[in-house]
Amino acid sequence: RKEVEQDPGPFNVPEGATVAFNCTYSNSASQSFFWYRQDCRKEPKLLMSVYSSGNEDGRFTAQLNRASQYISLLIRDSKLSDSATYLCVVNTSMNRDDKIIFGKGTRLHILP
């Protein structure tokens, strides 16, 4: 099983719709989780951290399910500017080995 897995998409979603992505991880010792956004030919940028209790930032909601080892990202009322690749990131820290692992990303296209 890969360390971090995501559905590569693309997800083609009409503007205004709600879309959700999942990401599974294999290491149960993983400690922190993030969603990054990467625009075409740009560097990844942090979208939001994922907290155990779930967290919301405007139209974006992130959730963590430790039992099933997955995280999710929900985007409500999607905008054209949400078109990007969304990268799931898992941080496992063991014995000073701070390993940040990226998923392959899920491509999202918001359609006008």
Residues that bind other proteins (CB under 8 A): 31-32, 34, 38, 42-46, 49, 85, 87, 89, 91, 93, 96-102, 104-105
Nearest-approach distance from CB 34 to other proteins, in angstroms: 6
Between 74 and 101, CB nearer to other proteins: 101
Report the nearest approach of other proteins to the CB of residue 8 (Å).
Answer: 9
Least distance in angstroms from the C-beta of 32 to other proteins: 5
Between 19 and 47, whose beta carbon lies closer to other proteins?
A: 47
Which is nearer to other proteins, 13 or 89 (by Cβ)? Answer: 89
> CA-CA distance, 106 to 37, in Å (whole number)?
10
- Least separation, in Å, of the C-beta of 60 and other proteins? 15
> Between residues 18 and 65, which has the closer beta carbon with respect to other proteins?
65
Place of tokens 């999942």: 22
Radius of gyration of the chain (CA): 14
